[in-house]
Chains A and B, each alone.
Chain A
């Protein structure tokens, strides 16, 4: 698969703080990628670099084959919907949209109109007078209607209620099906969007923790529940991401060293189920961050005393 955007050994430093640390990754042409990670993981910085808003301290950034920084030809093919985007004070909703229309050669006015209607946006109201959710809806409208070959959504749902978020996902899928393009979406609401994603890049502390297809990821981890002894025996052959014990039974999220058949596990009295993407991401991020609570939880879970592990 060809890449629409790549970062090669990219480091981004702000004074003492290293936001991205030797990051190498790429985003496939015509695919929807989820950019995941905790707050401060470096998601926004990565998008800013790809959108040509910043220059990396070191390393190479390429979008559609060229360095996006101050390259107008490439920049008009990139749409970056920022979390809490600001607009000029006197801009009404229609002004924001017509400004975007002049910026993107691929702009789809019909799509913009239907999104304004769907989100119930008041076209004549100044953007500064809108609620947070409505400002987000303006950003989403611009992001979708731009039909830019490379579109970044950086947590675009701030203040949006569940109904409006569902509308965003539905319109994103419908429009993407009609006009496939490269979409990168950063979000904390992993459960809501996991079905939309083909690929996931997980950042943690400025590094790439995971970079894989969603199907591959799901197949790589299994949640196993059963008698502690049997779970632990199985756990020795795989990497344990999380472990919770209750009485004599244990639930463990395993990163598989080799494929396991749920039916074989069932025969030995273990219940196995696929691990949802959100849980996998939380487990991996927790482990990487190595928080004190995670370490403590692992210690209690390892102790053999019944009930002790159940405190979490």
Chain B
């Protein structure tokens, strides 16, 4: 885990969320256990469990008693919705800050995005 990137339990949760969003961890499949996460990321099992519990609280994972944690149906849609709503803050805001530092106007920025779309 990256020590410079915020609380470790949140990084654990974010990685599982990523796997759900990109489809590598499908809905109703079993999520890694806290012991597996702890061994993989070389972190304290309690920290790994905290990350998992956060996802249970968020309704992304649910517990099957004695079996483990599973990805909830609708979790992917829920995560996409949340990420879209956070998109402006996480990506547009730093983009605008840097643009204004360089004296790039919003119109110019829009043109850049259009050009990038065309070239893709």
Contacts and interface: CB of A to CB of B under 8 A. Distances in A.
B101 interface: yes
A266 B97 CA distance: 8
A177 interface: yes
Interface residues of A, number: 27
Contact of B3 (A31, A219, A274): A274
A274 B39 contact: no
B7 to A, nearest CB: 5
Given A266-B93, A267-B93, A267-B97, A173 B3 contact: no
Interface stretch (A16-24, A57-65, A134-142, A190-198): A190-198
A184 B4 CA distance: 24
A266 B94 contact: yes
Interface in B1-60: 1, 3-9, 34-35, 38-39, 41-47
Interface residues of chain A: helix, strand, loop or mixed (majority): helix
Contact of B47 (A191, A198, A219): A198
A215 B8 contact: yes
Nearest to A195: B43
Contacts, number: 62
B42 A170 contact: yes
A269 interface: yes
Nearest to A194: B3
B93 to A, nearest CB: 6
A276 interface: yes
A197 B3 contact: no
Contacts of B42: 169-170, 173, 195-196
Given A173-B39, A273-B4, A277-B3, A32 B93 contact: no
Interface residues of B, number: 24
B89 interface: yes
Contacts of B9: 215
A38 interface: no
B45 A177 contact: yes
A31 B93 contact: no
A215 B38 contact: no
B101 A177 contact: no
B7 A218 contact: yes
Contacts of A218: 7
A31 B46 CA distance: 8
A270 B38 CA distance: 34
A186 B89 CA distance: 41
Interface in A100-146: none
A69 interface: no
A176 interface: yes
A262 to B, nearest CB: 9
Contacts of A174: 35, 39
Given A194-B3, A276-B3, A170 B43 contact: no
B43 A274 contact: no
A265 B97 CA distance: 11
A175 to B, nearest CB: 11
B93 A274 contact: no
Given A266-B94, A266-B97, A195 B4 contact: no
B85 to A, nearest CB: 14
Interface of A: 31-32, 169-170, 173-174, 176-178, 180, 191, 194-198, 215, 218-219, 263, 266-267, 269, 273-274, 276-277
What are the 9 tightest A-B residue pairs by CB atom distance, in nearest-first order? A177-B35, A195-B43, A276-B3, A177-B45, A198-B44, A215-B7, A273-B4, A198-B46, A196-B44
22 contacts: A169-B42, A170-B42, A173-B39, A173-B42, A173-B44, A173-B45, A174-B39, A176-B44, A177-B35, A177-B38, A177-B39, A191-B3, A194-B3, A195-B42, A196-B44, A197-B44, A215-B8, A215-B47, A266-B93, A266-B94, A267-B93, A274-B6
